[in-house]
Structure 1
Amino acid sequence: MSQHIVVIGGVALGPKAACRFKRLEPGSTVTMIDQSSLISYGGCGIPYYVSGDVSDAKELCTTSFHMVRDPKFFKEVKGIDVQILTKATKIDRENKQVEVENATTGEKASLSYDKLVIATGASPRKLGLPGEDLKGISYVANPDDALRIREGISKGEVGNAVIVGAGFIGLEMAEAFADMWGVETTVVEITDQIMPRLVSPALATMGQKHMEENGVTFHFGEVVEGFEGEDGKVTKVITNKRTLDADAVIIAAGVVPNSKIAEEAGLNCHQLGGVFVDEFMRTNDPDIYCGGDCAIVKNLITDQPAFLPLGSMANRQGRVIGNNLAGGETRFDGVVGSFVVKLFETSMAGTGLSLDSAKHAGFDAISVLLIQLDRAHFYPTKELMTLEMTVDKKTRRVLGVQGFGSSGDAMVGRINAVAALLKSEPTIDDFSNMELAYSPPFAAAMDILNTLANLADNALRGINRGVGPDGFQELWDKRETSECFFLDCREHSDAEKPMERNPEHWHNVPQGEIYNRLNEIPTDKPVVLVCNTGARSYEAQIMLDEKGYENVINVHGGMAAIKKYGVNV
């Protein structure tokens, strides 16, 4: 029996659900409406159009075979009726109708449905500050925004740009301004780090330092209080600590689910916005489905409600909904929270919980940080990769892994491998013995994920006790007043320069010589062990433990992490 499916929203989830259903029930009718004239575009590609990596904005709205995804395309190729510039104003659940209004003419009408899909997405969070409507202040929501922002830059109208927010969009837009166009770029963030809660302070600082090396300035712990302008165009950003010159401003302070119409229809919604759905992507009305950036799903690690506005998730959920509209029982169990963001020649990626978010969720957790080559040490092209693992102490369950490394595929490949396992509640042992493809041009024989799990195991056993680069900085900053004995376990040629700079505080005994030179290492002071990456210093810690030393600290990540973190020794 044929159905009439109405889809509210035509960006990511809406078209995916509509097309999947139409393939399964070609005899049924699908009507998709959207209040914009632009539909089915890749919003996540906007920063890369602004940067110039994507040359033509039309590419954000085309298929892989270069057809523009407009109403004509959906009608002729997909068999779907699309009504653009049409706003859904009310859902009448009792009569199974959607009231709509033409955004151009104001004409009103009703669409009857057998089943309804809410794919209204999310909108950029507005700050509601004085001057926020000045020309030159933009949000990053659709290709029109991208065209307007890039046009201003290409005309030479932008010498100074201010980004409000240091999340995904904020960092991507900061790179776009600074890298391609050489614009003096400043990021203002209300918290004390980039990507708060998503990564640890140590990884965040590494990413921040790299962006600063590429010309981006950061101001943390600052609140934007308003904007000033001349002739209707922004010229200043006012924070609680300073005034910044600005020819362009990007507000990237997060997004808010567009769930008002669902709430008014009596559907179960979160108090902060977003529609609750079950594992079949159904709302509390069995004939209404919802997904994408306006849906609340389950976090598979915390079992708590989760809001994760990502295009990749919207597309996967769209297929689930399409199947179920046609009578299927496909499940979307939930999310673990996976991400990656490009930062010039590097990237930051992660999945699951960081230590901060794990503790906030009630876990008694620790984290360990490791730096290791992404390929065999003897292979000519190799780079250091930094990974951090969060583990529940009692159960040894791995709660998440985050990383900082090159912008190639090596790191995100490891993160994706972790993401695939997290829903199964894996332990350290699962990762210690995880099977991964090996060849010297692609990985080390003992892959960094295996080594990271082994480090976590040793930390829980108490035989690798240490701090990350942030902990080292705290110790190093107090070197004049503390009794810490900083011991470099590398060969003398590696330790020579820091010893010359810090003759009173930096000492050197290579790990292989420790037993023969114990008289040089005090027993009555904390001994802080450092090597290149933390491996030899771990061996040194074992050796000193065996000789009765009671306060030995290993610096996880070693000098590689210390340098990336920006500590000057």
Structure 2
Amino acid sequence: MIKTDILIIGGSAGGILTATTAKKVFTDKKVMLIRKTKTVMVPCGIPYIFGTLKDAGKNRIPDAMILNAGVELLIDEVVKIDKENKIASLAENEEISYDKLVIATGSLPIIPKFINGYDLNNVFPILKDEEYLNDILNKLVNMQNIVVIGGGFIGVEFAEQLKKDGKNVTIVEVAEKCLWQAFDNKICDIAEQEMKENNINVMTGIKVKNILGNEKVEEVELENGERIKADAVILGMGVVPNSNIAKEAGIKVNEKSAIVVDEYMRTSEKDIFAVGDCAEKTCLFTNKNIPILLASTAAMEAKVAACNLYGLKYLRENKGTISAFSTKIFNKSFGAAGLTERRAKEEGFEVIVGKFTTMDKHPGSLPGTNTLDLTLIFVRTSGVLIGAQISGGESVGEMINILSLAIQKGLTANELNTFQVATHPLLTSSPIAYPINAASLDALTKY
């Protein structure tokens, strides 16, 4: 029997960071990570295999990060957890005994079995497996008409990359707007316009009724009877927690099959933790369960779990996710953190919204300058920031991280209005029109 002190099941973002952090914090402990696949994909980089990278092998997370930290790596599959005796049974090797166990088994793509034809050839769910993804890539070479079902981040990013590769791309979203869960209508409209200007056929507010074909997909039929020619279909309808191994072991899961955890990522069973997409997520603002499954959230949870494996020595509790996102669609970047105005009102918050539009470099005549639109959402009574949305140039990526921290720390419109910034003509907006300060001032004038 193999023996270890800390066993992590799952080798993506949550598992990797749990393992490396645990080894740094508890240097005397033996740490082992076990995963099914020989290589690990960068989760958020998968769409870029199909346009920019042209090879799934270029989207790997290097094993050096794990091995150089002193973590043992085993390629195998855990098929059973015996929580009473602290033993994990493997598919190919012998059993492993552990002292502490972290489940980081991630998520699985939603397969729409309610759509006739979901199982035809060339209908592709997106699995985080290098061989599978390269197989899709090779099959798409001789295909021209691609339909992407789902207008969230994965669907939109796939549509953009496939279009860059010269395909005829249609994206179909059942909601009224693409990216509606992360953004309010203004930013959604900017994103959709960017896709349309680059000749992606964007169809929103409509369901897919059938996927048609003889053995392989030929058309996609919408609920209004319209048919779209399709050589392939990409399923970008989201993911669900991969929690079967936990459920079979008698570890508590919620109604959405996510493993129930507390703020230190402890499960219902002593000495067993869970992090990443397989673990339950609660909203920072409402404490409700929300299906926000992100690598960045997994990274935060991994650090919390790893630091507290042997007692709550580090008060780095997880107070809830704020749903921070970023993406780039052709020449526009987009970022969001916290609540949208729509959802804030649905939850009963009285809000004031500050807005500002400027250029992301100064002067605006500099090459590569982009228009930057920022919306900040504050609680009316306290002035505390609870949401932010941006579109613009590449500076959006780090600006949304600043605002994510501001939300986590409960900063107010007044504090953000006087927020001190470093600016440079080639890198940022002007200091006299810095968007965070200016949008905060706009909100203050409405109190």
TM-score normalised per structure 1: 0.72
Structure 2 residue aligned with 1:402:
389
1:148 and 2:156 aligned:
no
Q: Which residue of 427, 442, 445 corresponds with 1:455?
A: 442
CA distance in 2, matches of 1:198, 1:378: 28
Deviation at 1:208, TM superposition (A): 0.3
Opposite residue 325 of structure 1, the aligned amino acid is L
Identity of aligned residues (%): 29
Structure 2 residue aligned with 1:389:
376
Structure 1 residue aligned with 2:216:
233
CA distance in 1, matches of 2:90, 2:126: 26
CA distance in 2, matches of 1:48, 1:304: 33
CA distance in 1, matches of 2:408, 2:66: 39
CA distance in 1, matches of 2:58, 2:315: 32
Structure 1 residue aligned with 2:422:
437
1:204 and 2:181 aligned:
no
Structure 2 residue aligned with 1:100:
90
RMSD of Structure 2 on Structure 1 (CA): 2.3
The correspondence of residues 39-118 of structure 1 with structure 2, limited to 5 A, is: 39-51=39-51, 53-63=52-62, 69=63, 77-86=68-77, 88-102=78-92, 110-118=95-103
Deviation at 1:405, TM superposition (A): 1.2
Structure 2 residue aligned with 1:324:
308
Deviation at 1:203, TM superposition (A): 1.2
Q: Secondary structure at the match of 1:268?
A: coil
Opposite residue 41 of structure 2, the aligned amino acid is Y
With 369-378 and 275-284 compared, the bigger mean Cα shift is at 369-378
Q: Tell me the alpha carbon deviations over residues 447-474 of structure 1, each in whole angstroms, 9 at most, x when there is no partner.
A: 11111111112233xxxxxxxxxxxxxx
Q: Highest Rg: 1 or 2?
A: 1
Q: Secondary structure at the match of 1:279?
A: coil
CA distance in 1, matches of 2:61, 2:425: 38
- Number of residue equivalences: 437
Structure 1 residue aligned with 2:143:
158
The correspondence of residues 246-285 of structure 1 with structure 2, limited to 5 A, is: 246-285=230-269
CA distance in 2, matches of 1:186, 1:451: 38
With 286-295 and 76-85 compared, the bigger mean Cα shift is at 76-85
1:172 and 2:157 aligned:
yes
Deviation at 1:364, TM superposition (A): 2.0
1:136 and 2:135 aligned:
no
The gaps in structure 1 that reach 5 residues or longer are 64-68, 461-569
Structure 1 residue aligned with 2:31:
30
1:18 and 2:1 aligned:
no
Alpha-carbon spacing, 1:329–1:135, altered in 2? closer, same or farther (3 Å): same
CA distance in 2, matches of 1:273, 1:134: 27
Opposite residue 48 of structure 1, the aligned amino acid is Y
Structure of higher RCO (CA pairs closer than 8 Å, 6+ residues apart): 2
Q: Tell me the alpha carbon deviations over residues 180-224 of structure 1, each in whole angstroms, 9 at most, x when there is no partner.
A: x21110011010001113111121011101110001111111111
CA distance in 2, matches of 1:443, 1:371: 10
Mapped contact 1:49–1:57 kept (Cα < 8 A): yes
With 353-362 and 112-121 compared, the bigger mean Cα shift is at 353-362
Q: Secondary structure at the match of 2:218?
A: strand
Mapped contact 2:20–2:66 kept (Cα < 8 A): no
TM-score normalised per structure 2: 0.90
Structure 2 residue aligned with 1:483:
none
CA distance in 2, matches of 1:186, 1:369: 32
CA distance in 2, matches of 1:332, 1:171: 33
Q: Tell me the alpha carbon deviations over residues 276-306 of structure 1, each in whole angstroms, 9 at most, x when there is no partner.
A: 2223221132301110111123322333334
1:335 and 2:321 aligned:
yes
CA distance in 2, matches of 1:278, 1:219: 40
CA distance in 2, matches of 1:262, 1:10: 16
Deviation at 1:3, TM superposition (A): 5.3
CA distance in 1, matches of 2:410, 2:66: 44
Q: Tell me the alpha carbon deviations over residues 245-269 of structure 1, each in whole angstroms, 9 at most, x when there is no partner.
A: 1111110111000123323333332
CA distance in 2, matches of 1:74, 1:214: 38
Mapped contact 2:375–2:388 kept (Cα < 8 A): yes
Alpha-carbon spacing, 1:22–1:40, altered in 2? closer, same or farther (3 Å): farther
Alpha-carbon spacing, 1:323–1:394, altered in 2? closer, same or farther (3 Å): closer
Deviation at 1:158, TM superposition (A): 1.1
Q: Secondary structure at the match of 1:210?
A: helix
CA distance in 2, matches of 1:434, 1:234: 54
CA distance in 1, matches of 2:357, 2:17: 40
Alpha-carbon spacing, 1:402–1:221, altered in 2? closer, same or farther (3 Å): same
CA distance in 1, matches of 2:309, 2:283: 24
CA distance in 1, matches of 2:39, 2:190: 38
CA distance in 1, matches of 2:383, 2:315: 31
Structure with the larger helix share: 1
Alpha-carbon spacing, 1:4–1:453, altered in 2? closer, same or farther (3 Å): same
The gaps in structure 2 that reach 5 residues or longer are none
Deviation at 1:26, TM superposition (A): 4.9
Mapped contact 1:12–1:41 kept (Cα < 8 A): no
Q: Tell me the alpha carbon deviations over residues 332-378 of structure 1, each in whole angstroms, 9 at most, x when there is no partner.
A: 42322111111011111111111111122221224343211223346
Alpha-carbon spacing, 1:22–1:380, altered in 2? closer, same or farther (3 Å): closer
Q: Which residue of 342, 353, 357 corresponds with 1:367?
A: 353
